[in-house]
Amino acid sequence: MVDYDEDFMSHLIALDGVEDVKLISAPYKLAAREYGNGSSIDVEAKINNKIVKVRFGGQEVVIIVGPCSIESYEQMDITVRCLKALGLKIIRGSAFKPRTAPRCFEGLGEKGLEILATMRSKYEVLTVNEIMDTSDAKLFNDYQVDVLQVGTRNMQNFRLLDMVGEMGKPVILKRGLCSTYKEWLLAAERILDRQKKKRVILCERGIRTFETYTRNTLDLNAVPVIKDLSWLPIIIDPSHGTGKAEYVPAVSKGALAAGADGLIIEAHPNPQEALTDGDQSLFLTALETLLGDLRKIAKAIGRKIA
């Protein structure tokens, strides 16, 4: 088999117009390290005639912060004003929430996207938002969401993966609760297959194990393993990874030291009153302290915070 491959490859390389031939034996070809070795992913938008840009997978570490859900204009205004003052360029906050139990707050829907778009132009920051359904594509385009998030529960929603690929926006693909690295990379492959500009960022957010003390078990192995298998940037979600705000700083610092390309962290002006995920949301003051520590770690490993 190896002989055949080598013969076949030297045959291909001899063809006119062929500059290089790479053998990628993994089933995920576009996500494989060999495909994009050394590449990074830019997220860029012109907001009020100003270019706002972050780069995932480069020297910078991208810190995305915001509440779990968009709850009101005031809640977002207080939060984003603070994040902007802390120098952050990209924010989160979901308008559509996947909830395990019915009859819980499921997000403000379109109203939430409208608030997020207002924050985007008021504070000139990029936005991340979770898309749950193929029928919402128009809304996400109309409200100029910069990065689509595909959540854990939808990692293998294949129609949704195809559609977000076709939308052409960068995608943060969260790892499924019980998904292997291979399944995760194959889900990314599905999106990459449809994208002209290949922009998928992987997010490890904790997997399900026998341990129930924390909400999930954050698998930090994912950082070196994904870096070995794939060229795609990997970010860590310490909020869902632990489920408890008091553990978020330690895990965030560990993730950065381990080589993660970014973090996505939940923060709220008043976590006790949050409509979703208050237990794992940082107070804005705690976030400020954490950012100070992250800057020191970034410096120590030759990176800096975007």
Nearer to ligand PEP, 30 or 245 (CB): 245
- For the CB of residue 72, give the shortest distance to ligand PEP in the complex, in Å: 17
Encoded amino acid at 210, one letter: F
Nearer to ligand PEP, 15 or 101 (CB): 101
- For the CB of residue 217, give the shortest distance to ligand PEP in the complex, in Å: 13
Q: Say whether residue 240 binds ligand PEP (CB under 6 A).
A: yes
281 binds, among ligand PEP, Mn ion, none (CB under 5 to 8 A by kind): none
Phi, psi torsion values for 202, nearest 5 degrees? -90, 145
Q: Say whether residue 68 binds ligand PEP (CB under 6 A).
A: yes
Query: Which DSSP string corresponds to 126-140?
Result: EEEEE---GGGHHHH
120 binds, among Mn ion, ligand PEP, none (CB under 5 to 8 A by kind): none
Residue 137 and residue 163 in contact, taking contact as beta carbons nearer than 8 Å: yes
DSSP single-letter state for residue 207: B
Nearer to ligand PEP, 35 or 107 (CB): 107
Q: Say whether residue 205 binds ligand PEP (CB under 6 A).
A: yes
**∠ Cα 111 121 270 (to 5°):** 60
Assigned token pair, 194: 């449809």
Nearer to ligand PEP, 30 or 119 (CB): 119
* Alpha-carbon span 181 to 109, nearest angstrom: 31
Q: Say whether residue 174 binds ligand PEP (CB under 6 A).
A: yes
DSSP single-letter state for residue 24: -
Q: Say whether residue 151 binds ligand PEP (CB under 6 A).
A: yes
